[in-house]
Chain A
Amino acid sequence: MLSRRSVVALTASALLLGACGTSNDNASSSNASAGPKKVTFEYYNLSTAEPLKSFWADVIKAYTAQHPNVTIKNIAIENDQYKPKIATLTQSGKAPDLFSTWGGGVLKQQIDAGLVKDLSGDMSDIIGNFTTASLAAYQFDGKTYGLPTDIGMVGFWYNKALFEKAKITQAPTTWAEFLDDVKKLKAAGITPIALAGKAKWPGHYYWAYLAMRIAGLGALQQAATTHDFTGPDFVAAGQQLKALVDLQPFQKGYLNADYGTPGGQAAVMGKGQAATELMGQWAPNVEKDSGGGIGDKLGFFTFPMVDGGKGSPTDAFGGGGGLSVGAQAPPEAVDFVKFALSEAQHSKAVKVGGVLPVLKGEESAVTDPNTKIVAENLLQSTGFQLYLDQAYPPAVGQEVNDSVAQLIAGKLTPDQVAKQITDTAKNEAE
Chain B
Amino acid sequence: MTGPDTRPALTETLGSPRRRDRGRGPLTAFGFLLPALILFVVLVLGPVLLSVYFSFYKWNGLGGLPQNFIGFDNFTRLWNSDIFQGDLRHGGLLLLLSLCVQLPFSLVIAVLLNQKIRGRAFYRLLFFIPYILSEAVTGVLFTLILEPESGLANQLLKSVGLPEWSWLSDPSSVLISLFLVISWKYFGFHTILYLAGLQGIPKELQEAARIDGAGNWEVFRHVTLPLLAPTIRISVFLSVIGSIQLFDLVYIMTGGGPAHSSETMAVTMVDYGVRRTQVGYSSAISVVMFLISLAFALGYQRFVMRRDLEGATTTTGNLR
Contact = CB atoms under 8 A, between A and B. Distances in A.
A91 B277 contact: yes
Contact of B276 (A255, A257, A399): A399
Contact of B282 (A7, A15, A273, A430): A15
A18 B61 contact: yes
A273 B147 CA distance: 15
Interface of B: 43-44, 46-47, 50-51, 54, 58, 60-63, 65, 94-95, 98, 102, 135, 144, 147-151, 166-171, 174, 182-183, 186, 189-190, 238-239, 241-243, 245-249, 254-255, 257-261, 266, 269-271, 273-279, 282-283, 286
Contacts of B60: 109, 113, 393-395
Contacts of B190: 2
A114 interface: yes
A399 B186 CA distance: 34
A265 interface: no
B168 A256 contact: yes
Interface in A188-217: 197-198, 200
A257 B277 contact: no
A84 B274 contact: yes
A263 B276 contact: no
A398 B279 contact: no
Contact of A12 (B47, B61, B170, B182): B47
Interface in A4-32: 4-5, 7-9, 11-13, 15-20
Given A3-B245, A8-B247, A411 B259 contact: yes
Contacts of B174: 256
Nearest to B293: A5
A430 B100 CA distance: 47
A232 interface: no
Contacts of A1: 94-95, 98, 102, 182-183, 186, 239, 242-243, 246
Contacts of A256: 167-169, 174, 254, 257-258
A286 interface: no
Nearest to B285: A12
A252 B269 contact: no
Contacts of B239: 1-2
A257 B95 contact: no
Interface in A404-424: 405-406, 409-412
Given A3-B247, A16-B50, A113-B62, A253 B276 contact: no
A1 B131 CA distance: 10
A5 B150 CA distance: 33
A111 to B, nearest CB: 10
21 contacts: A1-B242, A2-B186, A3-B242, A3-B246, A3-B248, A3-B249, A12-B286, A13-B47, A16-B286, A19-B50, A20-B65, A109-B60, A113-B63, A197-B257, A198-B255, A256-B167, A256-B257, A256-B258, A395-B276, A405-B258, A409-B257
Contact of A15 (B241, B248, B274): B274
Nearest to A85: B274
Kindly name the residue among B43, B63, B65, B166 whose own CB sees the greatest number of chain A CB atoms within 10 A. B63
